[in-house]
Chains A and B, each alone.
Chain A
Amino acid sequence: MTTLAAEAGSGGGAPAPRPPVALAVPRSLDEALALLAQDGAAVLGGGVGHTLARHHRAPDRPSTLVPVAGLPALAGVRTGPDGRITVGAATPLDDCAKAAAIARVWPVFTEACGSVATGRIRRLVTLGGNIAAHDDAHDPPVALTALGADLTVRAARGGSRTLSVPEALRPAADGGLRPGELLVAVTLPTRPRGAATGSAYRKYLVRGVWEYACVHVAAVVGLDGEGRATRLSLAVGSVEGGPVAVPLDGLLGGRFDADLVEEAARAAASGTRPYDDVKGSAAYKTRMIGEFSRRALTEAAHRARGTGHHAGGDR
């Protein structure tokens, strides 16, 4: 850390050393929620704190840290009786990327989880931590936005709520994740019967590995027997208010061809507001959002038709 500005206030007296921070290890989810309901408590685990600190959004000197990554209730990938896949919030991203059950159904999620940082980091950070860190440059939330996944959050008081990714990432006052609430699970939708569905995640990296993307796009495409689009979902990350779901309902029912892809890509480019940073100017990123939307949609449609050349091509 380098302190660029002296931020200390003035005033006499010996400055107090920082008070020690307590580490309270819960044995159960209920215990964790009870601890988190107390003033000054903050979640530890899954890389949340690290990311928040990077964005200077860390809680102001928490007095108690509550590690949650080891809770059995938050672990693992399960397929429910209704066929929906639920991923515990403490599941490491590497496990998400390696879950065959997910890859068979939603390769967009597999690819997003597998594209995060490096293997060492993917083995450490969790899905819940990745989402709760509230970083529009993160990959899994983009895929989950395109999929329309359900997030289950719980608090000691008030039971549980179900939110979409964009809802969860709103300010608490607008219905987003509230202090004391813990993201416990992510539930993926089932694939609709009777329609060919494919999905794909495309990420544009300057260096090719271990970096935040210049642009990243998730696409889900459903096609009927005539090749018409029955589902078109496109989500874009690293843009203002991201991840942003691009509204494409106007294109539904149309034939999925190059013109439709072009229109969807144009909608993605014009409907999102990237920002200037070291990865590129906003003007360039807008052009790349169009390009990578094209690529993601095209690959998703390939997979829907069962002609994809990547793992996960299916029907």
Chain B
Amino acid sequence: MSTTEMPATGLPSSALDLGRAVLPPLIGSPVERIDALEKVSGRATYAADTRLPRMLYGAVLRSPHAHARVVSVDTSRAKRLPGVHAVITGADTARVKWGAFRPDLYPLALDRVRYIGDEVAAVAARDLETARRACELIEVVYEPLPAVLSLDEALAEGAPLVHDDAEGNVAHEFSFDRGGADAWFERSDVVVEGVWETARQWHASIETIGCTAEWAGDRVSMWVNTQTPFLARQRYATALGLPLRAVRVVQTEIGGGFGGKSGDDNTSVICAILARRTGRPVQLVNTREDEFLASRPRIPMRYRVRLGFTASGLVTAKDIEVIADNGAYTGKAQAVLGAATVRHDALFNYRAVRAHSRLVYTNLVPTGAFRGFGNPSADWAVGQAWDLAAGKLGIEVPDLFLLNAVESGSVSPHNHKITSCELKQCITKAAEAIDWAGKRANPTPNRGLAMGVSVHVSGRRSFGDYDGSSAIVRLTEDGRATVIVGEGDIGTGARTTLAQIAAAELGLAVADVSVSRPDTDLTTHALGALASRVTYVAGNAVKRAAEQACGRLLEAAARQLGRPASQLWVADGVVHGPAGPDGGDPVSSPVGTVVRAELYRPDGEPVIGIGSFDNPSEFPDQSRYGNESGAYNFAAEAAEVEVDPATGALTVTEFAAVVDCGTVLNPPLAEGQVEGGIAQGLGMAVTERFSWRDGGPRRPNFGDYKLPTAGIMPRKLHIGFADSYEPTGPFGAKGVGEISLDPVPSIIASAVADAVGVRVHELPITAEKVFWGMSAQGAPPDTADPTAQDARSSAPEPDAAPAPRDPASAPHGSASAPDAGRGPDSRTQEAR
């Protein structure tokens, strides 16, 4: 892979013209990660590195059935195994259901198991081998029950219920019609329609989920690799039947989160129960198989999308129907479905949008938050419809996007208020980077070109009417600063960015700023690393705290140096002041000296600043109306893909990503986020899947589950950033952690369609699906699918030209002839 780096945006050339603050030199500089040394030297303490005296090890026994009644559990043999300290079942729990939005999960099954992997019993023993052996000795009698192993089975008339209180297996449902979709469709010249489906994708972090728990009296301390310590504490307390005050959560180092470590699974809860039962610290870390069977992968969603356009290419209306596979328990899936239904409406100037979304229980692995939070599914399905429309309209995709893109000041149908927006700049730059015009002018056989766009939030008001963060900045007596903040770092470099923001505000070197790790007993309250929020929300809180600390420092220095605070400044760790009015020399004093002098006096005080920032957003109502974030980030990405006509295998020959994340605080960190998102997007688009049997992955390990490697990264990769400034962001910054992933599956699908005329409607886009699609193209007409026809037949413009190279735009897109989504491969793909 040869990476061509487009330079990150420099400082604005005319900062005043743009209403921007002049940025300190630290902002936008490639500051090295503050945790680089401890990570590369192996000193970082990840969840499984925690060691407490007398610590025991846990293991979990899981259901082998997709749906069954638990008739009996006999733990007597397991308990007699030497070295076993406790064997627990549902009877040993508080018997309380928990969950982020819809409490439906017991820590251990009481009388029913609802998916392969459901927790039935757990063991604490002197070592892992003994704990696992003891699990084998637990005797469980199951009475298998009829299971629903797909969306269609779950929604079928008279289907067995996954939860008795969810009629028709619908866990959550909402709909809206904003702007009058029918009327706008009637006024449309071109209508495109299709059905697109995504699959489960696992976070597959290099470090699995893990916890170490220890009780002291009635309080439990949990060292967890959670992305969201404060939210997790709340849920763990519920699950354990304890008051909030009885639980302390401390964040360990985190080896990748991607949404998968945001506290919706049972591992930590079981660990705490084992620790209480044994009276000793217990560590419980998922095996890779545990992680595949019982973490919370990306939600498969089936979209039916309908888009209307005027003949000149202005988008009129959008109508979507979304069915999402919740799996057996809810977690954050209903919030994900909300984002997957509304967020992308902040991309284009739709006149009307209508949606009906349902979250459906199945007897499959529960699903939940994953980088992108519903956006990749939406961008895939809706992006495919846009690509079809461009073909029908005869307008190049970038031009169609530019014609309809939102701008600063736009307001979406859901009241998403767009402050800074450089979407058009992203589209133009991405097209230039990949040489769209040149490639179109000189097409290469079997190569296709495509573009996708996305919008993401910078924090999201999801968990009650608060999306805030708070921080304390303490200037120390030795001239450094400690930032105390509850957000944490899941591997993105967020702590480095926060140190950079504090250092820039304080006038200190980054090396002189340390950032705490979240501890619900010690650090400030915060929601954690989710929704691309840490840079924007925590960044603002830290900046405000640093600003206040700096102000107090200068007030102290003013008293000490005899100059007004307004004339003082900090540079390189020293407070400086001008010459006195009576001709004295300029004054200066090291920060540490000022701090110590302020403290070492009668009624002295520490120099501390506090800061808080609540996202200037609205808590969306039940129909998802409300401005979910104070700032939105945007991206345009383009790809050239080559398809091997003999196999259907694809190679991404070139990829360009241009992201509007406001000010780029730290270019290498931002580029890393963009690059990583593209890799994970390619995994979702092309390689990541399981073969399923009876409701579970046949082989829940990396032998079958293909994470992307360097081998499938684009042969040539351009990463760039828009010249952008977010007025509400810290130094103009917005979030950047997720957006580059969002449009990737859609882009790959469109590029394959452009290359060989096959549009796959069900992820992932395997070579086999493309191959069968190409084979069907060559089939004689009488054997082709008789339902295949172009969307024109249902569109009000009878003379619109069919998309020349894409015969897949049938009224139900997945029924068109060269549609590999329905090839033999796809039928085996999902839970059948």
* A interface list, Cβ under 8 A from B: 1-8, 10-11, 13-15, 17-18, 54, 204, 206-212, 276-278, 280-281, 283-284, 287-288, 291
Q: B64 to chain A: which residues have CB within 8 Å?
A: 4-5
A10 to B81, CA, bound (A): 14
Q: A287 to chain B: which residues have CB within 8 Å?
A: 771
A283 to B712, CA, bound (A): 25
User: Are A17's CB and B711's CB within 8 A?
Assistant: no
B132 to chain A, nearest CB (A): 6
User: Are A284's CB and B772's CB within 8 A?
Assistant: yes
| B83, B136, B710, most chain A CB atoms within 10 A | B136
Q: A210 to chain B: which residues have CB within 8 Å?
A: 709, 711
User: Are A212's CB and B828's CB within 8 A?
Assistant: no
Q: B314 to chain A: which residues have CB within 8 Å?
A: none
Q: Does B752 contact A (CB under 8 A)?
A: no
Q: Does B130 contact A (CB under 8 A)?
A: yes
User: Are B139's CB and A278's CB within 8 A?
Assistant: no
Binds A, one of B156-164, B514-522, B573-581, B683-691: B683-691
Give per-residue flags for B90-101: 1 if the beta carbon is below 8 A from chain A beta carbons, else 0.
000000000000
Give the interface SS of chain A, mostly helix, strand, loop or mixed: loop
Q: A209 to chain B: which residues have CB within 8 Å?
A: 709-711
User: Are A278's CB and B704's CB within 8 A?
Assistant: yes
User: Are A2's CB and B706's CB within 8 A?
Assistant: no
Q: Does B143 contact A (CB under 8 A)?
A: no
Name the residue of chain A whose CB is nearest to the CB of B644. A291
Q: Does B768 contact A (CB under 8 A)?
A: yes
Name the residue of chain A whose CB is nearest to the CB of B687. A207
Q: Does B766 contact A (CB under 8 A)?
A: yes
Q: Does B741 contact A (CB under 8 A)?
A: no
User: Are A277's CB and B708's CB within 8 A?
Assistant: no
A11 to B139, CA, bound (A): 11
A49 to chain B, nearest CB (A): 16
A199 to B516, CA, bound (A): 61
Q: Which of A7, A15, A276, A278 contacts B77 (CB 8 A)?
A: A15
- Which parts of B28-81 form the interface with A (CB within 8 Å)? 60-62, 64, 77-78, 80-81
* 6 A-B residue pairs with CB within 8 Å: A4-B64, A15-B77, A15-B137, A208-B712, A278-B690, A291-B647
Give per-residue flags for B105-148: 1 if the beta carbon is below 8 A from chain A beta carbons, else 0.
00000000000110000000000011011011111100000000
Name the residue of chain A whose CB is nearest to the CB of B290. A2
Name the residue of chain A whose CB is nearest to the CB of B699. A278
Besides the known contacts A4-B62, A206-B649, 13 further A-B residue pairs in the complex with CB atoms under 8 A apart: A1-B289, A2-B60, A2-B700, A6-B61, A8-B137, A14-B80, A15-B80, A15-B81, A18-B133, A204-B649, A280-B766, A280-B768, A281-B768
- Which parts of B753-792 form the interface with A (CB within 8 Å)? 766-768, 771-772
Q: Which of B62, B116, B712 contacts A207 (CB 8 A)?
A: B712
User: Are A206's CB and B709's CB within 8 A?
Assistant: no
Q: Does B586 contact A (CB under 8 A)?
A: no
User: Are A17's CB and B81's CB within 8 A?
Assistant: yes
User: Are A284's CB and B706's CB within 8 A?
Assistant: no
User: Are B825's CB and A284's CB within 8 A?
Assistant: yes
Q: B78 to chain A: which residues have CB within 8 Å?
A: 15
A10 to chain B, nearest CB (A): 7
B716 to chain A, nearest CB (A): 16
Name the residue of chain B whose CB is nearest to the CB of A7. B136
Q: Which of B129, B647, B699, B709 contacts A204 (CB 8 A)?
A: B647
| A206, A211, A277, most chain B CB atoms within 10 A | A206
Q: Does B293 contact A (CB under 8 A)?
A: yes
Q: A7 to chain B: which residues have CB within 8 Å?
A: 136
A61 to chain B, nearest CB (A): 12
User: Are B766's CB and A206's CB within 8 A?
Assistant: yes
A2 to B771, CA, bound (A): 36
Q: Does B583 contact A (CB under 8 A)?
A: no
Name the residue of chain A whose CB is nearest to the CB of B64. A4
* B interface list, Cβ under 8 A from A: 60-62, 64, 77-78, 80-83, 116-117, 129-130, 132-133, 135-140, 287, 289-290, 293, 646-647, 649, 687, 689-691, 698-700, 703-706, 708-712, 766-768, 771-772, 824-825, 828
- With contact pairs A206-B706, A278-B691 given, residues A288 and B647 touching in the complex (Cβ less than 8 Å): yes
User: Are A14's CB and B82's CB within 8 A?
Assistant: yes
Q: B711 to chain A: which residues have CB within 8 Å?
A: 207-210
B760 to chain A, nearest CB (A): 14
User: Are B768's CB and A17's CB within 8 A?
Assistant: no
Q: B768 to chain A: which residues have CB within 8 Å?
A: 280-281, 284
Q: A1 to chain B: which residues have CB within 8 Å?
A: 132, 287, 289
A146 to chain B, nearest CB (A): 21
A10 to B74, CA, bound (A): 10
Q: Which of A2, A204, A206, A278 contacts B293 (CB 8 A)?
A: A2
- With contact pairs A17-B82, A280-B768, A284-B772 given, residues A10 and B709 touching in the complex (Cβ less than 8 Å): no
A296 to B706, CA, bound (A): 25
Q: Which of A3, A18, A281 contacts B828 (CB 8 A)?
A: A281
User: Are B691's CB and A284's CB within 8 A?
Assistant: no
B627 to chain A, nearest CB (A): 41
Q: A288 to chain B: which residues have CB within 8 Å?
A: 647
Q: Which of A3, A11, A14, A281 contacts B824 (CB 8 A)?
A: A281
User: Are B703's CB and A54's CB within 8 A?
Assistant: yes
A1 to B133, CA, bound (A): 10
B506 to chain A, nearest CB (A): 45
Q: A4 to chain B: which residues have CB within 8 Å?
A: 62, 64, 116
A287 to B771, CA, bound (A): 10
| A6, A8, A277, A280, most chain B CB atoms within 10 A | A6
A54 to B137, CA, bound (A): 22
User: Are B687's CB and A3's CB within 8 A?
Assistant: no
User: Are B135's CB and A3's CB within 8 A?
Assistant: yes
User: Are A6's CB and B825's CB within 8 A?
Assistant: no
7 nearest CB pairs, A to B:
A208-B711, A278-B691, A4-B64, A209-B711, A14-B80, A2-B289, A278-B704
Q: A291 to chain B: which residues have CB within 8 Å?
A: 646-647
Q: A18 to chain B: which residues have CB within 8 Å?
A: 129, 133
User: Are A276's CB and B828's CB within 8 A?
Assistant: yes
Q: A2 to chain B: which residues have CB within 8 Å?
A: 60, 62, 117, 287, 289-290, 293, 700
- With contact pairs A6-B61, A54-B703 given, residues A17 and B83 touching in the complex (Cβ less than 8 Å): yes
Q: A54 to chain B: which residues have CB within 8 Å?
A: 703
B4 to chain A, nearest CB (A): 21
Q: B772 to chain A: which residues have CB within 8 Å?
A: 284
User: Are B703's CB and A212's CB within 8 A?
Assistant: yes
A14 to B699, CA, bound (A): 33
User: Are A278's CB and B689's CB within 8 A?
Assistant: yes
A287 to B647, CA, bound (A): 9
| B62, B78, B704, B768, most chain A CB atoms within 10 A | B768
A51 to chain B, nearest CB (A): 11
- With contact pairs A14-B81, A208-B711, A208-B712 given, residues A283 and B136 touching in the complex (Cβ less than 8 Å): no
Name the residue of chain B whose CB is nearest to the CB of A215. B647
A42 to B647, CA, bound (A): 42
A111 to B745, CA, bound (A): 33
Q: B60 to chain A: which residues have CB within 8 Å?
A: 2
Q: B139 to chain A: which residues have CB within 8 Å?
A: 6, 8, 10
Q: A3 to chain B: which residues have CB within 8 Å?
A: 61-62, 132, 135-136
User: Are B698's CB and A278's CB within 8 A?
Assistant: yes
Q: Which of A6, A17, A280 contacts B136 (CB 8 A)?
A: A6
A281 to chain B, nearest CB (A): 5
A4 to B116, CA, bound (A): 8
A297 to chain B, nearest CB (A): 14
A122 to chain B, nearest CB (A): 16
Q: B706 to chain A: which residues have CB within 8 Å?
A: 206-207, 211
Q: B61 to chain A: which residues have CB within 8 Å?
A: 3, 6
Q: A10 to chain B: which residues have CB within 8 Å?
A: 139
A204 to B647, CA, bound (A): 9
A2 to B691, CA, bound (A): 18
A211 to B709, CA, bound (A): 11
User: Are B691's CB and A277's CB within 8 A?
Assistant: yes
A1 to B78, CA, bound (A): 17
